[in-house]
Amino acid sequence: MPPGDASDADLHKSDTQVQGSKAFGAGELTFGSPEISDGPQLWDLASAAGNLDVNSRYHYLLWCRDFADTSVVARAADGRIAGFLTGYRRPSAPDTFFTWQVAVSPDFRRRGLARRMLDHLVDSLRPQGVRFVEATVTPDNKASIRLFESFAEANGADLALDVLFSERELGSGHESEVLHRIGPLAGR
Ligand SMILES: CC(C)(COP(=O)(O)OP(=O)(O)OC[C@H]1O[C@@H](n2cnc3c(N)ncnc32)[C@H](O)[C@@H]1OP(=O)(O)O)[C@@H](O)C(=O)NCCC(=O)NCCS
């Protein structure tokens, strides 16, 4: 468990305070569901993050309205969003949580924040029957690949890889998107 990690009990609160002084060097971070008013900050962070397909502002606003329960933001004491992870349960396979986008502000990277957001969200969804985590990653995104490997290892779960969308399908010189499927996860 990384320094300053929240206890299991804390993970199940809707807004979880995470001691950040050791882990993040920037005071406390609070984990919670995004609100519509967070949409513009999510768009800003996605635009600045690199490696992400940036969608319209409208898209982030809508996500904060309709997929807040399956998304998390990590908020610093000054209101700034240090990171977010957005996802949804697949309508045709509700035991599967699909990670749509994850981004951490450069100031907060490599301190375990993305892993902890993923842990937080998946732990909140296990009681609802989520047993698999999926994400697509481009082959050059080492940080993201390691994030999902690390999550699979910590959970003792299998990690299967398969191309979901090819370069031809994505077009415009976009690299292929490789599906990372992790599970089954223990129910807890
Ligand atoms: C990918 C991203 C969200 C990771 O956030 P983060 O908070 O720095 O990640 P964490 O600190 O939780 O690290 C998770 C794991 O990845 C590893 N990792 C993180 N950044 C890495 C890098 N640049 N190179 C190699 N490994 C890296 C960590 O060491 C850790 O592995 P460990 O558990 O074995 O120690 C962040 O780099 C980012 O926002 N990138 C731009 C947007 C993006 O690419 N999103 C993903 C698209 S699918």
Which tokens is 123 given? Answer: 């732990």
110 alpha carbon – ligand 1 mean position (Å): 6
- The reported pLDDT for the residue numbered 188 is 76
- The more confidently predicted of residues 2 and 92 is 92
Q: Residue 59 above 50 pLDDT?
A: yes
Q: Is residue 1 part of a domain?
A: no
Between CA 111 and CA 95 the distance in angstroms is 29
In whole angstroms, what separates CA 26 from the centre of its chain? 20
Q: Is residue 27 part of a domain?
A: yes
* 115 Cα nearest atom in ligand 1: 12
- The reported pLDDT for the residue numbered 16 is 67
Q: Residue 14 above 90 pLDDT?
A: no
Task: Compute the mean pLDDT over every residue in the chain, rounded to the nearest whole number.
Answer: 89
Tens of pLDDT, residue by residue over 145-168, are 999 999 999 999 999 999 999 999
Number of domains in the chain: 1
Q: Residue 3 above 50 pLDDT?
A: no
Nearest-CA residue for atom 25 of ligand 1: 143
Element (H, E) at 32: strand 29-32
- What CATH code is carried by the domain that includes residue 105? 3.40.630.30
Structural domain of 113: 8-183
Whether 157 lines ligand 1, by a CB cut-off of 6 Å, is no
188 alpha carbon – ligand 1 mean position (Å): 26
Average pLDDT over residues 59-67: 98
Torsion of CA 168, 60, 87, 13, to 10 degrees: 170
Q: Is residue 94 part of a domain?
A: yes
Identify the residue whose tokens are 């519509």. Answer: 36
Confidence of residue 15 (pLDDT cuts 50, 70, 90): low
Confidence of residue 18 (pLDDT cuts 50, 70, 90): low
Q: Is residue 74 part of a domain?
A: yes
33 alpha carbon – ligand 1 mean position (Å): 21
Q: Is residue 3 part of a domain?
A: no
Strands ordered across the beta sheet of 93-104: 16-18, 29-32, 71-76, 81-90, 93-104, 132-137, 177-183, 158-165
Q: Residue 47 above 60 pLDDT?
A: yes
Nearest-CA residue for atom 32 of ligand 1: 150
Q: Is residue 2 part of a domain?
A: no
- The reported pLDDT for the residue numbered 187 is 83
> CA torsion sign, 121 to 127 to 129 to 131?
positive
Q: Is residue 62 part of a domain?
A: yes
Q: Is residue 188 part of a domain?
A: no
